[in-house]
Amino acid sequence: MHPVRRTILLLRGALLLAAMIFSLSTCSGIGGSEFSGGGTGGTGISTGSITGFGSVVMNGVHYHTDDEVSPRFRTKKIARGQDRSNAKDRDLFQVGMVITLRHSPGDNNAVEIDYEPNLVGPIAAKDSGPDLAIQVLGHFVLLDNAALFASLAQDSVVEVSGYVDNSGRIRATFVEAMRPAPETFEIKGFISGLPPSDGTGGTFEIGPLPDGSGFTVTVSYTPGAVQELPAGPANGMYVRIKTRDTQPGSGGIKADNVTPFVPRTVFPEGATVDLDGLVTRIDSPSGNTLSFELEGKAVRTDGATVFLGGTGGGTGKDIRPNARVLVRGTEAGGVLSAVTIVFR
């Protein structure tokens, strides 16, 4: 064979091999995982806690950011409501933070990463048994790290990120004492127990679950504190409360600011979603259909849903309260139609 032709063939083969490797790394995850973090169309959305970097690792998948996507590409990075797109991943995010990551259809290229803590506030109480728990703005936060629990001083202001269980407690995957401590604190949740308004303000309950079950805290507010809500607050609405109260008193927390907020469990119609969370409710099965909720998000399985892990022999028998599962599915009419479920 002529040397020039042989060189061309070798180069063509090398390019083909490189393309195959690139395709596997971007569409199937690096190192293998249950999910590839993509989908065949629409918007890809993955939510869960960060487990590593290079670029960002979540749900067993490496998501590419910035220059790893393409030269001079910048992933949009929103942290605590601030655009920090110029920051490096490791400088902005930390292992354990629960994030929402949007990626291009069919690949693991991160277009946007959004991090919002569950709450920010002072530790009002600590309880070492039977669970390691701290109380922050009326919310109970469970920790699984004894050293971290011991290091947190009462009255210190902490930022908390984690998953909500079926009693409304936050099972933290990330807790950090904030230095310097902010003067304004915040909680997010669903409104319940709101009586008819006479236009002069009043009180409502706020908690992590949409049906108002579990732990809630009373919030008092004035009309001037309500913003971006022309019709005022309403039961079932998800809001962010900003306050300077250090802990709930006899009248609850006084809100300095009440604004609408979008929870991490709300997705655009038709989006391909990877949702990591705890089972907070289970409905009675009907034939091959099983319906349950993750932090209040409706999930539905059918006869084609694949179950991975657990002890149920590839069935939904392991779907029980507070089981941690990873659901891959498609958003349809406010329900996540599950294609695959992995027991964590």
* Backbone φ, ψ for residue 320 (5° rounding): -140, 165
CA-to-CA dists, residue 53 to 44, 64, 93, angstroms: 20, 10, 9
Q: Which pLDDT does position 339 carry in this prediction?
A: 96
Nearest-5° Cα angle at 162, 252 to 338:
115
| Contact of 157 with 178, CB cutoff 8 Å | yes
Which one, of 81, 79, 82, lies nearest residue 98 by Cα?
79
- Res. 38 pLDDT band, cuts 50 70 90: very low
Mean pLDDT of 152-166: 96
pLDDT tens sequence across 227-254: 999 989 999 999 999 999 877 666 689 9
Model pLDDT, residue 332: 95
pLDDT band at 4 (very low <50, low <70, confident <90, very high): very low
Q: What angle do CA 54, 59, 64 make, to 5 degrees?
A: 30
Which one of 22-26, 244-248, 323-327 scores highest in mean pLDDT?
323-327
Spatial CB neighbours of 243, under 8 Å, sequence gap ≥ 6: 137, 184, 185, 186, 187, 253, 254, 255, 256, 257
Please give the DSSP secondary-structure letter assigned to residue 42: S
Cβ–Cβ < 8 Å for 175, 331: no
Give the residue from 261, 307, 273 showing the smallest Cα distance to 288: 307
Count of Cβ atoms closer than 10 Å to residue 64 Cβ: 22
pLDDT digits (tens, 9 = 90+) for 251-270: 689 999 999 999 999 999 99
Mean pLDDT calculated for residue range 90-95: 96
User: Residue for token digits 């939904």?
Assistant: 316
Q: Which of 235, 134, 238, 257 is nearest to 185 (CA)?
A: 257
Q: Indicate the helix (H) or strand (E) that contains 119.
A: strand 119-127
Q: Is the peptide bond before 55 cis (omega within 30 degrees of 0)?
A: yes
